Structure 1
Amino acid sequence: MLDIVADAPDTRGCRPHRRVPGNGGTRSWRRSRVSGAGSGRAVAMLVGMTERPPYPSYWEADVVLRDGTTAHLRPVRPEDAEAMQAMHRKQSDESVYLRFFAPLPVIPKRDLERFVNVDYHDRVAFVMTVGGEIIGDARYDRIDERSAEVAFNVADDYQGRGLGSIFLEHLAAAARERGIREFHAEVLPQNRSMLAVFMAAGYKITRQLDDGVVAVHFNLDPTEESRRVQAAREHRAEARSVHSLLHPASVAVLGASRKRTSTGNLLLRNLKEAGFPGEIFVVHPEADQVAGFPAYRSFDDLPEQIDLGVIAVPAERCIEVVRQCAQHGVKGVVVISSGFAEEGPEGLALQQRMVATARAHGMRVVGPNSLGVINADAALNASLAPFLPPAGPIGLFAQSGAFGTAILAEATRRGLGVSSFVSAGNRADLSGNDMLQYWEEDPATKVVGLYLESVGNPRKFSRIARRLSLKKPVVVVKADFTAEERPPGHHVRSSRLSSAALIQIFEQAGVVRADTMHALFDVAQVFTSQPLPAGRRVGVIGNSAALATLVVQRLRAEGLEVTVPPVSMHPEVSTEEFRVELERMFANPDVDSVVMTFTPSSGPQSDEIAPLFAQVSARSGKTTVACFLGIIGNQEFLTAHVPGDDGEPVPVTVPAFGGPEYAAWALARATDYAMWRESDRGTTDPPAGVDLRAARRLIRRLLAGVPAGEQRTLEPGEVAALLETVGISVVPHARVHTPEEASAAAREFGFPVALKAVHHQLRHRLDAGGVQLNIDNDAELRDDFLRIQDLVRRVGGHSAGEQPSLDVQPMAPPGTACVVTAGEDPLLGPVVSFSIAGDATELLDDVAHRGAPLTNVDAREMITSVKAAPRLLGYQGTPAANLSAVADVIMRLSALVDEFPEVSEIALRPLHAGAEQVHILSAYAVLRSQPDRKDSVRRLS
């Protein structure tokens, strides 16, 4: 999957902000103020670094440009000198001048060597390549501990594709990682595009004109605007890349044989039968004709450029075919072929090489092991599906090919049209996240449905889905939420959390979760044909009291309110009587939605009642579903036409369900979504006193010397210091080894005190004897100390002859013990969790999870959503806890883990929630050096 995007004005280049006197401003690569042969060492000593970092391969990324094509970005290497010089020679005189402030036919050898030999700390440079050719570079040179000079250069042929914005994002991320907080650059006034890149990046920019040059300065701390700008660029670029795949003007099938049952032959026939209006080509080394299409011996023989390549050759030939597509300007490929990652490690390696080949040449890849793609509006069926579904408002995504066919068949059976369909197969490149980006802008798509066997980047999915759900419903069928049962060929990380975490994070983003394909289409029927419910109040009307009772029970079980008595008419009720009762029900101001049930009898039949019901419902504007036994889907006889905004008739269909449980579930999920969409989602602004700069400095110091990828468990004092940077205080404690030390600590704190075992099995375990509370005097303290110390010895786990240590801590005011944890989950990214402390909570998994960054509404909801929440609300006469204070702590942890993936785990256990304040009695934290976040500022592929 590609995660990097850019869509801002591009630049021909800029130079560092300071010219060196005496050189007339002719060179832009001047050394920083710490200069000369020893400059790297001098600055290294300044920032506390003692040796040059190795090549940072984790900085590499595949990126999507503004036009939807791809490129590869990586740190510069010494062997790039020749390619850098080649790019320079191709530049126009104007571009060279804007970059170097002087004519420069070639880069001098000495300076070229300096360009490509960097230390990846004080001097960092990135290059971007397509097909192995360098198309741009960007670099910074450190000035002092917190600032650096930057310069950019983009090849003439790639102007206007957003490279400058991509370079800036990656360079800024690398600089922040190396402790740099500010960038400076000088730009000629006529280089408006470079100035636009800086101004549009979302940072707080200052600039001034000095000696004919614009000096630009800005702080690198991310802002809400910089995040918004980056997300907008990402969205537009990825949407554009998918658009190119689904709207080709020409298609070439690679691997079609004359055998009618072959995959390629079937693809050709499906393209033809769908009525694809563009050109269809066949490349075959021997045949003159395949499936009625003339065949060309090779790409070189094709009469025009191809937009989309559909590949059905054996796996071992795919890389060469992809390379041929790249050389002939194909924009994207759909790989139907199997035999890749689903076959094991060798297949995975082959798959990775194929995708790398495509990306390096600017192409997106669907698959491999894909069923194909469909765009019903464009009459494109580049898939193995035997039919083109009718055009309609649902965008569908599936990973399984077999399941994809079933999805299309079910949509057709229910009378639901499809806008587009993509089968991702092994999801080696194009993913569900890319499709969400596309469907957000696609006017033909009103509802999004996804069948996910795995989620490669849930954090990004949640981030995009939260934005998309504000416009269009997103319905997901997810097979396995923990990635422990990932299908063959799907490279997915495993989560440390339970499956409930991903479900809750999806709900946080407004995503509707369906357990089955049928449930997906149940709720899609409501979304595609009805207005969203205005509230949870439901009226029930029909001609069967028994069926009405079942519906009412199911509605209440799903969290809806039946506010008026159900209307159950006689089975032989007349059509006119039915009409009167229907209009009365729909006119009731205490009803937001209506469920109509109908059972055929000797009275009016379905074909008489259905049109009447549809007409009354459509005129009312209220959400309506029907429970017609034996009838499922959006049927024509349940459709009425009402005037639209332009006065033209608009069809409105009442969705029909075969049973009360399906109707109630679908209406409830549509109502939940409507309530989420209309609710105030709050803000992500961190509380006052959160100092992320201080946290960054401390984390960098705590991880100094820790090898990349390794973890470090913090000492209690270090944990307290880290929490203090975000405004969280921990109740002090004293670690003691003897009764005398315990008494001294207790007298300093003041009685009463608590005594706690440090042993991992007994810590926090009041029930197991590891904790003693409300100790009032020295004698009691000594007895409890010796008892707990003896208990620790019997449990074991400490060194022989070592005195088990205990903690003495002042007693906190009465409150409810809670647990708040946060950290970087390998699959889900930064997650914050909340629960009431206790074994029952852990055994029953009564834990609330949310993905960071949380809003203040998220924080409050996660506290009240756990089943044990009544204990915080005055249960059985106990004082109610200050929930705002608990939410405040959650928001502070959210800000910390959202900003720093280095925080692998942090736990406040317990957090005592009192009537007025909260008290953190114990905290634990683990940091990881150079973590790999799937959806960071430098988003990795």
Structure 2
Amino acid sequence: METGYPTHWEADVVLRDGGTAHVRPIRPEDADALQAFHEAQSQQSTVFRFFAPLERLPEADLHRFTHVDHRDRVAFVAVADAPGGEQILAVARYDRDGTEDAEVAFNVADAHHGRGLGSVLLEHLAAAARERGVRHFTADVLPHNHRMLTVFREAGYAVTQRLEDGVLRVEFGIDPTETSLAVMADREQRAEARSMAGLLSPRSVLVLAEPGPGADLGLATAVARHLASPGDGPEVHTVGLADPVPGAHAVAGPAGLDSVDLVVLSVPAVRAAAALRACAHLRAHGVVVISGGFAETGPEGLERQRELLRVAHGAGMRVLGPSSYGFWRGAADGPAVNASLAVDAPRPGGVALFCQSAPLAVGLLASARRRGLGLSTFLSAGHRADVSGNDLMQFLRQDPSTTVAGLYLESIGNPRKFARVARRLAATMPVVVVTAGRSGHVVPAGHAVRRTRVPRRALDEMLRQSGVVRVDSQHQLLDVAQLFASQPLPTGRRVAVLAGSGALAALTAEAASAAGLTVAEQRAILPGGGHGPKDLARLEEELRATHAGDCDAVVVVHVPTLGAPDPRIAEAVARSAAAGRPTVAVILGLSGLTPELTAPGPDGTPRTVPAYATPEDAVAALAATTRYAAWRAADHGSALAPSGVDRPGARALVADVFERLVPGAGGDPQPVELTAEESTRLLACYGIRVWPCAMVADADAAVRAAERLGWPVALTAMNARLRHRVDLGGVRLDLPGPGALREAMAGVLAAHPDAGPWRVQQMAEPGASCVLRSTEDPRFGPVLSFGLAGDAVDLLGDVGYGVAPLSDTDVAEMVRSVRTSARLFGYRGVPPLDVRGLEDVLGRLSVMADDLPDLRQVELHPVVVGPSGVAVLAAYVAVAPAGRVDAGRRALPT
């Protein structure tokens, strides 16, 4: 059976060398390109693929290879733009034998070996195969085909092989494993980091400008001047600028150049793709698009943006922008590169800043400069068609010149990938994040991202899980970044407060407590206001005693009531902090990282105490670093791997349900609600047992069901208004026999004549009733929620959230995050309940939601947690095609 062309399998990818390619299913019209690919292969490559020399593909084989059903016979090609059209770089295919096994084969162009095409195609082919119900791949490989054997062995799957008639038979299951996911993440990181390194370190640049709507020759000229400023910077070429740029070479067009590393584009959006196509032969690593007129203008602009991406990725280029402010990159062993609109280059240092909006970049850079905060990298993604904060974080993992990452995010296009990348980076350096709007749901014009339905707290939880430091403003971002950049991490929450007066010390201590810190001591220092003859000596004594005392950080506040502070006070604070505890200061007249608060540390390296305008700012920044230090030191658990999971069975059941899909509004299929029996079977595939029940229409049927299930029973009215509503009489519990059951049903019907149908179920062990849910969000993917059941909990929003995948520690923290969780651990004489069993059910639900993107919604309600067990009494499941944005394969934004 031939299915429709699976558009959602198409993707742009970054390769091992930092270049890009387009991966898509093969099409019948690829026949000529496939024949050309085959004829260009060496005889050895042909023998490796077909076990015999084959100069041309026979017409019958060519037809079979290019006409596939996208189900049992699937083929992918990796392509790039070429003068005569698309050029095939590699081919991968599988053929299923009617079971859950499929035979797989690869062929990579000789000229593109070593770029990682084989591993990328294996990821995409395996993802498609899992979607079609395939469980295992097999391949016949000649023993000396080392490249192909390496692709299989290094993929992270459990590979077995045996020699048969001189040919190696390779077999492996394709369900993701912890190892295969780690391998994919490592390859993704290395490839994206290399693509960013090529973008950020150009040796030659072409600035291409053309006047018109959305383009400004003045902006292009400014970038060219900054690139060509005196110094050993990149070689700069310009096309289309009205005025000559000193140090740059004006050329008639891109055709007059052989190659460049970077293109800066400022042309009208309607001409952007064509202008970039004219630069394809230059083999640039990236393009900075400073002009606008793309997605922010509407559907036509969005299509222009997509066409620009297609051209760029087809030519191997990453795209920064549109409407980008550009980038600045410092270099410890060479000149900085200022490919931005910033007239005053940042001061070199260890902080990397990412900002999407060009206007906000102006204020962010100016504030960093006023504070004396040194930068290693500054990057503005503009409307973020391609290069994003995820890419910069991937690069920073291997950048020795960066110690702190700060990101201003107007939108998060791929939260699952963001969480994964940020968590790995946060394990090695602080990541400070501010989002546009506290909810993080703001989508400015020009940002082509999916809608989201998640509550604000889900974003908060995702960021907390990732270990990033969430702040509320650009001001706080730089407050925290300057502390991370200048002081060591605190080892605990205890702070000592030293202030010029008792009142100021008390106010600062209160602010520290409100920020979540523990005030170990507070002292009033400088009783003479800092001007007395003994003040300085006493201050030094107080500082020595404090740094030697029982605290983890020190807050110094000095605001004299008359005149300016004695400069020796700042010197004393800096000297004591250089070899002591992490310190922050509030000293009148000082702000940011200043020479007055700088002193050599034990190794001779200068160390600066950051200065803040107010005590509240200082302790808020200190509290943020303390939380990060605690997260970094904590055990984050391990990936969930529950036993008894039947993934193929679950996928097959969902595929069967899809036969009932019907188009909804806009052509998208409406979610299909599973029957109770289907829901029970699906959950059983993940080891979640739903207690048996019976749906009945009247009292006689209810009694028969209760006799079969066992007394006592619970009776639930299934009317949507009454279900789960004990307060309205819709649920009657502990009915010991037929008489009580009939009486209960009659009582409900007297008050609610439309109460039926009814559910009859054996009573579970008494305990706490909980609600577990999973919802597939278009942007965030599977969002889990947990709470105890009841109106009070619902009204107060006492719900914990998590974004799958979760670790075992994440699950435990999610259960304990709700205020009513005390009821689970022994409350007012009630024995402790089976929390471990509850965590097992929640963990299995998380794994199921992560495995099956098409689970639109799952609700387990009620889940009764008793002292010695957990009972899932009812389940609701709905499915619909999802097209998850982070689908277990490497891909760039589309």
User: One fold, TM greater than 0.5?
Assistant: yes
Provide Cα deviations, 1:228-275, integer angstroms capped at 9, x if missing partner.
111111000011111111000011111178999711122222223474
CA contact (8 A) 1:533 1:593 kept: yes
CA contact (8 A) 1:459 1:935 kept: no
Comparing 153-162 with 174-183, which one deviates more in the overlay?
Answer: 174-183
Q: 1:264 aligns with which of 220, 239, 242?
A: 220
Amino acid at match of 1:193: R
Pair 1:578-2:539 in alignment: yes
2 CA distance for matches of 1:731 and 1:101? Answer: 56
Report the equivalent of 1:657: 612
Pair 1:227-2:159 in alignment: no
Q: SS where residue 152 of structure 1 aligns? A: strand
Comparing 602-611 with 722-731, which one deviates more in the overlay?
Answer: 602-611
Comparing 500-509 with 903-912, which one deviates more in the overlay?
Answer: 903-912
2 CA distance for matches of 1:536 and 1:789? Answer: 59
Q: 1:235 to 1:481 in 2, by over 3 A?
A: farther
CA contact (8 A) 1:709 1:930 kept: no
Report the equivalent of 1:44: none
Report the equivalent of 2:726: 766
Q: CA deviation at 1:189?
A: 2.3
Provide Cα deviations, 1:512-560, integer angstroms capped at 9, x if missing partner.
1110000101111111011111111111122221121112112111221
Q: 1:261 to 1:493 in 2, by over 3 A?
A: closer
Report the equivalent of 1:62: 12
CA contact (8 A) 1:457 1:935 kept: no
Q: 1:930 to 1:513 in 2, by over 3 A?
A: closer
CA contact (8 A) 1:600 1:606 kept: no
Q: SS where residue 643 of structure 1 aligns? A: coil
Pair 1:297-2:258 in alignment: no
Q: 1:491 to 1:843 in 2, by over 3 A?
A: farther
Pair 1:821-2:773 in alignment: yes
CA contact (8 A) 1:65 1:71 kept: yes
Count of matched residue positions in the alignment of Structure 1 and Structure 2: 875
Q: SS where residue 289 of structure 1 aligns? A: coil
Q: 2:32 aligns with which of 82, 94, 99?
A: 82
Report the equivalent of 1:730: 690
Q: CA deviation at 1:290?
A: 4.3
Q: SS where residue 230 of structure 1 aligns? A: helix
1 CA distance for matches of 2:708 and 2:167? Answer: 64
Q: 1:882 to 1:102 in 2, by over 3 A?
A: same
Alignment of 1:529-608 (within 5 A): 529-566=486-523, 568=525, 570-572=527-529, 574-588=535-549, 590-600=550-560, 605-608=565-568
Report the equivalent of 2:365: 408
Q: CA deviation at 1:329?
A: 1.8
CA contact (8 A) 1:629 1:659 kept: no
CA contact (8 A) 1:60 1:940 kept: no
Report the equivalent of 1:855: 807
Amino acid at match of 2:583: T
Provide Cα deviations, 1:188-231, integer angstroms capped at 9, x if missing partner.
22221111111111111112233332221212122111111111
CA contact (8 A) 2:639 2:807 kept: yes
Report the equivalent of 2:665: none
Q: SS where residue 638 of structure 2 aligns? A: coil
Pair 1:153-2:107 in alignment: yes
| Structure 1 gaps, min length 5 | 1-50, 795-802
1 CA distance for matches of 2:146 and 2:642? Answer: 38
Q: 2:121 aligns with which of 151, 160, 167?
A: 167
Q: 1:892 to 1:280 in 2, by over 3 A?
A: same
Pair 1:626-2:585 in alignment: yes
Q: SS where residue 228 of structure 2 aligns? A: helix
Q: 1:126 to 1:792 in 2, by over 3 A?
A: farther
2 CA distance for matches of 1:111 and 1:749? Answer: 61
Amino acid at match of 2:823: R
CA contact (8 A) 1:544 1:571 kept: no
1 CA distance for matches of 2:783 and 2:216? Answer: 52
Q: CA deviation at 1:934?
A: 2.7
Q: 1:602 to 1:295 in 2, by over 3 A?
A: closer
CA-atom RMSD, angstroms? 2.2
Report the equivalent of 2:634: 679
Provide Cα deviations, 1:391-440, integer angstroms capped at 9, x if missing partner.
11111111110001111111111111111111111111111111111111
Q: SS where residue 703 of structure 1 aligns? A: helix
Question: If the length of structure 1 is used for normalisation, what is the TM-score?
Answer: 0.90
1 CA distance for matches of 2:511 and 2:832? Answer: 33
2 CA distance for matches of 1:666 and 1:930? Answer: 40
CA contact (8 A) 2:660 2:672 kept: no
2 CA distance for matches of 1:393 and 1:308? Answer: 24
2 CA distance for matches of 1:566 and 1:807? Answer: 67
Q: 1:349 to 1:251 in 2, by over 3 A?
A: same
Report the equivalent of 2:193: 239
Provide Cα deviations, 1:22-41, integer angstroms capped at 9, x if missing partner.
xxxxxxxxxxxxxxxxxxxx
Q: CA deviation at 1:71?
A: 0.7
1 CA distance for matches of 2:133 and 2:12? Answer: 25
CA contact (8 A) 1:635 1:655 kept: yes
Amino acid at match of 2:392: M
Report the equivalent of 1:921: 873
Report the equivalent of 1:71: 21
Question: If the length of structure 2 is used for normalisation, what is the TM-score?
Answer: 0.94
Alignment of 1:413-492 (within 5 A): 413-480=370-437, 484-492=441-449
2 CA distance for matches of 1:599 and 1:215? Answer: 78
CA contact (8 A) 1:483 1:495 kept: no
Q: CA deviation at 1:495?
A: 2.1
CA contact (8 A) 2:228 2:235 kept: no
1 CA distance for matches of 2:814 and 2:452? Answer: 20
CA contact (8 A) 1:575 1:604 kept: no
CA contact (8 A) 2:356 2:410 kept: yes
Q: CA deviation at 1:850?
A: 1.2
CA contact (8 A) 2:500 2:557 kept: yes
Pair 1:208-2:162 in alignment: yes
Q: 2:50 aligns with which of 85, 91, 100?
A: 100
2 CA distance for matches of 1:87 and 1:925? Answer: 47
CA contact (8 A) 1:185 1:216 kept: yes
2 CA distance for matches of 1:779 and 1:223? Answer: 54
Report the equivalent of 2:74: 124
CA contact (8 A) 1:754 1:775 kept: yes
Q: SS where residue 449 of structure 1 aligns? A: strand
CA contact (8 A) 2:156 2:181 kept: yes
Pair 1:780-2:734 in alignment: no
1 CA distance for matches of 2:37 and 2:141? Answer: 21
Q: SS where residue 229 of structure 1 aligns? A: helix
Report the equivalent of 1:875: 827
Pair 1:688-2:643 in alignment: yes
2 CA distance for matches of 1:412 and 1:655? Answer: 14
Provide Cα deviations, 1:817-874, integer angstroms capped at 9, x if missing partner.
2111123221111222111222332333221111212111111111111122223233
Pair 1:498-2:498 in alignment: no
Q: CA deviation at 1:481?
A: 6.2
Q: 1:612 to 1:149 in 2, by over 3 A?
A: same
Q: CA deviation at 1:907?
A: 1.1
Alignment of 1:832-843 (within 5 A): 832-843=784-795
Alignment of 1:522-533 (within 5 A): 522-533=479-490
Report the equivalent of 2:676: 716
1 CA distance for matches of 2:483 and 2:595? Answer: 15
Comparing 417-426 with 592-601, which one deviates more in the overlay?
Answer: 592-601
1 CA distance for matches of 2:240 and 2:781? Answer: 46
Identity percentage over the alignment? Answer: 46
| Structure 2 gaps, min length 5 | 663-667
Q: 1:250 aligns with which of 201, 204, 224?
A: 204
Amino acid at match of 2:415: P
After TM superposition, the runs of 4+ consecutive aligned structure 1 residues lying more than 6 A away are 256-261
Report the equivalent of 2:60: 110
Q: SS where residue 495 of structure 2 aligns? A: strand
2 CA distance for matches of 1:406 and 1:790? Answer: 68
Q: 1:220 to 1:386 in 2, by over 3 A?
A: same
